[in-house]
């Protein structure tokens, strides 16, 4: 009877000793960890977090010339509610997202699966698909703009050979947005492909061997093994592509001229933001647009985080 | 204790590292080997050869002042300046246009030059009075005129010859222009008679003035876009597109009208003297004065060189601006045929620089020219013009709707 409490006493004494030791060690570990990430954190705070705070503050102000501003309370947000151009920009951006994200992901999975096979010259193909990613977006936009040119462009020349009078790819308000979407998909495949390739290579071979023994065909293998095991990667790529697509700007800026008749039907939220911030010098309102965009992206990403439990398999 | 020292050191090192990045990149240049470096910001790369020659001449006089050029395409020029001005990082010397001078002068980001000019006995009488007026804000001159430009009716002689029509001359009016455009248009060959540009200078401004209208009222409180004279002028412009005599707005954004013109797809178009270096390459092209409406009018505008308030080398910048405004520099511009130099008396040399073009047309225009209106919010009004009038040009909206919308937005901007 006496031994038992004694034992527990010893045990608890030991535990106290161990835990206080762990605490001091933990504390010094934390210290070094924080010290190591301090340079990065500082950069993050100075260049990302602080501007976000400032932007939030500026969204309640109205700007004059050369950096003077005054507090106007909720005026900018009231304007947001009745701005038809903003609504149109949201619509354009939504169309852009609905097409580029799913089609882009679908195509890059296909390309990644194909290039994951043992085919001849696969590194050459991988390089070719990755090339647009390391090319400057501005250069991509310029080259495509030339190809799209209605009078002298390559596409309309090819169409004219078969007797078709090609459209004005980037000036026709009904087509321009889709022309941009095509370029966006084309230039985005390579980046996603590389991530999917690494995901594919992380799937253990034994599943495929087991499937082969059980007599599963390639289609069944793809849908029952590859896709579920790739789902964490698909989830990651979806989130990143969505955020990227919400912020589309460069392609539109480069390919659609300022006096183009197609500008209204292509301008994205960020384009509108740019227009107010740097062309009309309406920086307060631009800040409010940026806050709204941040909120929308946060909400959509949060929804994805909740939904992922239903379809993402972590082994 | 020691830990805190380490933390402090890390922070300091980090901050030093960061400030290290920005230190080497100040816009206002520094000094090296006793030489002072100043920066010169402008947008037109066609003028680079002339400007380089002028800098060379300048360095013969002042070998210790090094001038670094910074070219920004016109589309981004004023956006970049706006940001640079906010951060106190403007080039020491820069190009200014009439649309922005009031805003920049009142924002105190460019320096008044009158005081320095008085001290150095520098005379403003060497330039056309209208240009000095354009750059005078509250009694102070802020810019030394560099050049001026009016508009001419450029035409393709070959297309005229093939259609058997006499070349345009000073007797032409609106009806004649329309009639000729009809005769010159050849849809089978893909030739348009005229390019109805959606441009203010050398475009609808000129037509509005010719029709007796105005852009900004004399008290500076309202615009005249929705007045009957303006509506009629806009209608006249767009009618060329409606009747198939001009490329559509979409076509002109796909391929610039100037490119269509120099490749022989357009018979006539309004354009400025700044296109001389480009158009003189094609021997088929020539230029005449613009046709008249109810009266003769053509817009005039000129650029000037200004000094930024954030310059660290005010004296050197002023020397350079003086030199840019000198007869010597004007002659370089004249000789190369780049622009019409503003220095009185050097225009003849400019005219003779390209003898096979009738450049007299631009100088003639100066007589009955109207300066581009300049108020504090001109830049903003220009933006509304582009955004709204393009709907009328592309026939998405009626002229009346567009003009009314434009007048409303522009009046709001004026009331700010």
Backbone angles phi, psi at A295, to 5 degrees: -60, -45
For chain B, how far is it from start to end, CA to CA, in angstroms? 58
Give the CATH architecture of domain B33-149+302-345. 3-Layer(aba) Sandwich (3.40)
Q: Which two tokens stand for residue B40?
A: 């010169």
Instruction: Say if residue B194's pLDDT is above 70.
Output: yes
Which helix (H) or strand (E) is A157 found in, with range?
A: helix A154-161
Q: Residues B93, B41: contact at Cβ < 8 Å?
A: yes
Question: What length does chain B have?
Answer: 416
Give the integer Cα–Cα distance in Å for A68 and A61.
Answer: 10
Q: Residues A269, A246: contact at Cβ < 8 Å?
A: yes
**Residue (of B140, B152, B145) closest to B130 by Cα position:** B145
Instruction: Say if residue B201's pLDDT is above 70.
Output: yes
Q: Residues B289, B167: contact at Cβ < 8 Å?
A: no
In three-state secondary structure terms, B101 is helix
Q: Residue B171: what pLDDT?
A: 93
Q: Do A39 and B198 touch (CB under 8 A)?
A: no
Give the integer Cα–Cα distance in Å for B170 and B150.
Answer: 15
**Residue (of A53, A25, A20, A41) closest to B7 by Cα position:** A41
Give how far A85 is from chain B: nearest CA, Å.
Answer: 12
Q: What is the pLDDT along chain A (315 residues), one digit of tens a residue?
A: 444 444 444 455 555 555 565 666 778 888 889 999 999 999 999 999 999 999 999 999 988 777 788 899 899 999 999 999 999 999 999 999 999 999 999 999 999 999 988 888 888 988 888 999 888 888 999 999 999 998 889 999 999 999 888 888 998 889 999 999 999 999 999 999 999 999 999 999 899 999 989 988 888 998 889 999 999 999 999 999 999 999 999 999 999 888 888 888 999 999 999 989 888 888 899 999 999 999 999 999 999 999 998 888 886
Instruction: Say if residue B412's pLDDT is above 50.
Output: yes
Instruction: Say if residue B20's pLDDT is above 50.
Output: no
Burial B106-130 (b: 16+ CB within 10 A, else e): ebebbbbbeebbeeeebebebbbeb
Cα nearest neighbour of A40 on chain B: B14
Cα nearest neighbour of B250 on chain A: A171
Instruction: Say if residue B47's pLDDT is above 70.
Output: yes
Give the integer Cα–Cα distance in Å for B6 and A68.
Answer: 40
- For the stretch B166-182, pLDDT in tens is 999 999 999 999 999 99
Cβ within 8 Å of A, B 18-37: 18
Instruction: Say if residue B26's pLDDT is above 80.
Output: no
Which residues are within 8 A (CB) of A304 and not within 5 positions of it... i.e. 6 or more apart? Answer: A235, A238, A239, A242
Cα B30 to Cα B24, B25, B69, B88: the distances in Å are 10, 10, 14, 15
Q: Residues B254, A149: contact at Cβ < 8 Å?
A: yes
Give how far A264 is from chain B: nearest CA, Å.
Answer: 9
Q: Do A257 and B253 touch (CB under 8 A)?
A: yes
Q: Do B390 and A279 touch (CB under 8 A)?
A: no
Q: Do B109 and A66 touch (CB under 8 A)?
A: yes
Could you please state the CATH topology (level 3) that the domain comprising B152-298+373-415 is classified under: D-Maltodextrin-Binding Protein; domain 2 (3.40.190)
Q: Residue B33: what pLDDT?
A: 63
DSSP notation for B134-166: HTEETTEE--EE-EEB--EEEEEHHHHHHHT-P
Give how far A30 is from chain B: nearest CA, Å.
Answer: 12
Q: Residue B83: what pLDDT?
A: 85
Give the integer Cα–Cα distance in Å for B363 and B287.
Answer: 12
Q: How confident is the model at residue B4 (pLDDT cuts 50, 70, 90)?
A: low
Give one word for A115, left, alpha or beta, with left for phi > 0 and alpha for psi -120 to 50. Answer: alpha
Give the integer Cα–Cα distance in Å for B332 and B52.
Answer: 10
| A-interface mutation test, from B189, B204, B248, B253, most A Cβ less than 10 A away | B253
**Residue (of A184, A180, A187) closest to A256 by Cα position:** A180
Q: Residue B68: what pLDDT?
A: 94
Within chain B, all domains assigned CATH 3.40.190.10 are found at: 33-149+302-345, 152-298+373-415
Q: Is the dihedral of CA A175, A177, A183, A188 positive or negative?
A: negative
Tell if the pTM clears 0.80, that is, is over it. Answer: no
Give one word for B77, left, alpha or beta, with left for phi > 0 and alpha for psi -120 to 50. Answer: alpha
Of all residues in chain B, what percent carry a pLDDT higher than 70?
92
Give how far A257 is from chain B: nearest CA, Å.
Answer: 7
Instruction: Tell me the residue ranges of DSSP E strands in B43-99.
Output: 65-71, 93-96
CA dihedral A103, A107, A108, A109 (to 10 degrees): 110
Q: What is the ipTM of this complex?
A: 0.71
**Residue (of B199, B231, B236, B198) closest to B214 by Cα position:** B231
Burial of B104 (0-12, 13-18, 19+ CB in 10 A): buried
Q: Residues B87, B349: contact at Cβ < 8 Å?
A: no
Instruction: Say if residue B389's pLDDT is above 50.
Output: yes
Taking any CB pair shorter than 8 Å as contact, residues of chain A touching chain B are 31, 35, 38-39, 42-43, 46, 65-67, 149-152, 168, 170-172, 257-263, 278-281
- How many CA atoms are closer than 13 Å to the CA of A222, on its beta-carbon side? 10
């Amino acid at each position: 009877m006496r031994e038992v409490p004694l034992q527990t006493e010893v045990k608890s004494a030991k535990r106290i000793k161990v835990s206080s030791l762990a605490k001091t060690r933990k504390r010094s570990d934390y210290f070094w960890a924080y010290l190591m990430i301090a340079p990065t954190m500082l950069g993050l705070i100075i260049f990302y977090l602080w501007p976000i705070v400032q932007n939030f503050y500026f969204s309640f102000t109205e700007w004059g010339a050369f950096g003077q501003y005054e507090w106007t309370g909720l005026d900018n947000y009231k304007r947001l509610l009745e701005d038809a151009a903003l609504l149109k920009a949201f619509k354009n951006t939504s169309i852009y997202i609905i097409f580029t994200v799913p089609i882009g992901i679908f195509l890059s999975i296909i390309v990644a699966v194909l290039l994951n096979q043992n085919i001849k010259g696969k590194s050459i193909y991988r390089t070719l698909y990755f090339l647009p990613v390391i090319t400057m977006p501005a250069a991509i936009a310029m080259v495509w703009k030339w190809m799209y040119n209605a009078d002298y462009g390559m596409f309309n020349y090819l169409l004219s050979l078969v007797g078709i009078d090609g459209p004005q790819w980037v000036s026709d308000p009904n087509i321009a947005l889709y022309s941009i979407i095509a370029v966006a998909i084309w230039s985005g495949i390579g980046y996603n492909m590389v991530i999917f390739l690494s995901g594919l290579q992380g799937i253990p071979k034994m599943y495929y061997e087991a499937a082969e023994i059980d007599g599963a065909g390639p289609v069944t293998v793809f849908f029952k093994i590859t896709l579920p095991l790739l789902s964490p990667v698909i989830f990651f790529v979806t989130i990143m592509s969505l955020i990227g697509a919400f912020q589309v700007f460069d392609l539109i800026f480069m390919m659609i001229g300022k006096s183009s008749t197609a500008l209204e039907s292509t301008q994205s939220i960020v384009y509108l933001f740019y227009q107010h911030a740097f062309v009309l010098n309406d920086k307060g309102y631009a800040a409010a647009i940026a806050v709204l965009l941040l909120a929308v992206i946060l909400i959509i990403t949060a929804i994805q985080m909740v939904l992922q439990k239903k379809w993402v398999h972590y082994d | 204790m020691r830990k805190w020292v380490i933390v402090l050191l890390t922070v300091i090192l980090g901050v030093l590292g960061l400030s290290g990045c920005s230190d080497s990149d100040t816009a206002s240049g520094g000094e090296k080997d006793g030489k002072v470096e100043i920066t010169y910001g402008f947008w037109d790369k066609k003028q680079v050869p002339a400007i380089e020659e002028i800098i060379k001449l300048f360095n013969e006089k002042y070998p210790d002042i090094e001038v670094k050029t910074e070219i920004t395409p016109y589309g981004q020029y004023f956006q970049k300046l706006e940001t640079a001005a906010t951060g106190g990082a403007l080039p020491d010397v820069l190009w200014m246009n009439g649309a922005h001078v009031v805003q920049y002068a009142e924002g105190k980001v460019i320096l008044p030059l009158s005081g320095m000019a008085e001290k150095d006995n520098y005379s403003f009488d060497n330039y056309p009075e209208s240009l000095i007026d354009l750059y005078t804000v509250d009694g102070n001159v802020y810019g030394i005129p560099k050049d001026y430009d009016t508009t001419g009716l450029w035409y393709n002689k070959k297309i005229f010859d093939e259609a058997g029509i006499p070349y345009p001359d000073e007797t032409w009016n609106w009806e004649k222009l329309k009639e000729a455009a009809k005769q010159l248009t050849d849809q089978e060959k893909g030739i348009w008679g005229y390019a109805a540009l959606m441009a203010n200078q050398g475009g609808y401004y000129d037509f509005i003035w010719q029709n007796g209208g105005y852009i900004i009222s004399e008290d500076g409180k309202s615009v005249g876009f929705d007045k009957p004279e303006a509506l009629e002028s806009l209608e006249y412009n767009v009618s060329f597109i409606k009747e198939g005599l001009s490329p559509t707005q979409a076509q002109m954004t796909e391929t610039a009208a100037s490119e269509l013109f120099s490749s022989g797809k357009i018979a006539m178009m309004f354009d400025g003297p700044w296109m001389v270096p480009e158009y003189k390459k094609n021997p088929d092209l020539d230029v005449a004065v613009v046709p008249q409406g109810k009266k003769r009018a053509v817009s005039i505008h000129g650029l000037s060189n200004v000094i930024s308030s954030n310059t660290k080398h005010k004296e050197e910048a002023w020397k350079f601006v003086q030199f840019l405004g000198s007869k010597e520099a004007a002659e370089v511009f004249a000789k190369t045929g780049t622009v019409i130099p503003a220095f009185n008396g050097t225009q003849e040399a400019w005219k003779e620089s390209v003898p096979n073009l009738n450049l007299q047309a631009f100088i003639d225009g100066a007589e009955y020219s109207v300066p581009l209106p300049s108020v504090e919010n001109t830049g903003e009004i220009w933006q509304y013009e582009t955004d709204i009038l393009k709907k009328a040009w592309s026939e998405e909206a009626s002229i009346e709707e567009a003009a009314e919308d434009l007048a409303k937005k522009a009046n709001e901007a004026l009331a700010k």
